[in-house]
Amino acid sequence: MTLPKEFTTKYKQLLGAEAENFLATFTEKPVAGFRSNPLKKAQQSFENPIPETPWGYYGKVSGRSKEHVTGLVYSQEPAAQMVGQVAQPSQGTRVLDLAAAPGGKSTHLLSYLQNTGVLVSNDISSKRSQILAENIERFGARNVVVLNERPERLAKVFPGYFDLIVFDGPCSGEGMFRKDPEASQYWSIDYPKECAALQKSILKPALDMLAPGGRLVYSTCTWAPEENEDVVDWLLQEYDNLELLNIPKINGMVSGLNQPQTARMYPHHFAGEGQFVAHFQDRRSPEESNYRPARSNISKSQLEDWQTFAKSYLKVSLSGILQVFGDQLYLLPEDLPDLSKLKIARNGLHLGTFKKNRFEPSFALGLALTADEVKQSIDLDDDAFRRYVAGETINLEEDRETGWYQILVDGNGLGFAKIVGKVIKNYYPKGLRFHS
């Protein structure tokens, strides 16, 4: 990789004697990682754990593997995993992931929330928000909505609402040069300053959404001080209610430049790519936020159809707000304001579709439920899995009672399918099908 000359000069000045080791890492391969999903059932232990992390591992996972398709694993670079680990939301809290696509940090936050509280996962790009929604669906969480909005519009709906805000800011991307060498060609000496200005413009409405006594985790995947320590200094100057918290330095993290509380990840110290993280506490006294709650709009007949399905096939009662859009039924987390004025990419958990006098369960519901939460399930072996994700009908050796069954792969859900006699009809989404 050929780095921009001004970039090399800049980091020789910033890092001094360490610069040679730092610059040498750009000739090395990037470090891959993934996380296991505690919402799913693991049949095996993974190798090469990332030290001092609850779910992190070094290595690559195939997008066509059983583990990926059922949401048991999520690919995420090791340094990026430190953002969610610093945030560590408590169960039952309200969390905002402000610039969330493609979903690594959101799914990490959901691992800590354990289907409690609420996560609002937002991305301003409509295309990226759809990818985000797909990744969250596969992860199988129930307590999350995905929005596609500008922060100014979010702030009008969520004033002082969130206990925790995670903002991984759009940045110059220096820490990703090794993974994406082409990104270095877009870099210029002034680019970090331009990015810092954008980050500040987003942080202003973001801080309007932070509840008194809440926390803010600010991160970038760059080493530029203009986008890191300088933005931290700006926040502390602009908001006297914010206090900088210390981040424990693990696995080769180092302190920020003249900021011992913040954390930097350099590839010559930390086995991963580049990252910066700062952790803030709001010092105001906690208070209750007032908001207009979201309401159910389900009709009596639709509710009866849903309840008939749930009584026939589920062992659990799902709590939340039932909302209907067209013929689609969704379950929203209970602790949410009215979202009707916002652009929604995923309106909570998609439960399914109303057909004539009946209810048909969604693929998402079959991903989110565990095997002990349904009355009927069938576990596919490796050969049947390969044929099912390719769109084939599966033939059984013995008759089964006609009805809906959760499809399981190694104990984890892969949607619902209808079984008639000895035949599993294929309900795997056409847009996801592949041949392995």
- Residues forming the active site: 221
Tell me the CA distances in angstroms from 50 to 113, 242, 272, one per residue in order: 21, 31, 10
**Is 102 annotated as a binding-site member?**
yes
101 is in an annotated binding site: yes
Beta pairing, strands 275-282 & 210-220: antiparallel
Q: Which region, left, alpha or beta, applies to residue 323 given φ > 0 means left and ψ of -120 to 50 means alpha?
A: beta
Q: Is 335 annotated as a binding residue?
A: no
Annotated binding residue at 180?
no
What's the Cα-to-Cα distance from 120 to each of 88, 147, 213, 349, rounded to whole Å?
15, 7, 19, 13
Q: At which residue do the structure tokens 């209750």 appear?
A: 288
Q: Residue 102 gets which letter from DSSP?
A: T
Smallest CA-to-CA distance from 211 within 276, 291, 100, 91 is with 291
**Strands across the sheet containing 349-355:** 321-325, 328-332, 349-355, 358-361
Give the separation between CA 130 and CA 359, rounded to whole angstroms: 25
Rounded to a whole number of angstroms, the distance between the first and last alpha carbons of the chain is: 33
Quick one: tokens of 170?
């759009």
Note whether 252 and 272 are within 8 A (CB). Answer: no
CA dist 272 and 29 (Å) reads: 10
Residues 6+ apart with CB under 8 A from 114: 38, 39, 91
Cα maximum dimension of the chain: 73
Q: Give the tokens for residue 42.
A: 């693991």
Q: Is 168 annotated as a binding residue?
A: yes
Q: Which of 332, 329, 285 is nearest to 117 (CA)?
A: 332
Indicate the residue type of 174: E
Structure tokens at 325: 């859009």
Q: What's the sign of the alpha-carbon dihedral 71, 73, 79, 81?
A: positive
For residues 431 and 313, what is the distance between their CA atoms, to the nearest angstrom? 26
Q: Are 56 and 35 in contact (CB under 8 A)?
A: yes
Residue with tokens 């990490």: 108
At which residue do the structure tokens 């006098």 appear? Answer: 357
Tell whether residue 103 is among the known ligand binding residues: yes
Residues contributing to the annotated binding site for S-adenosyl-L-methionine? 99-105, 123, 168
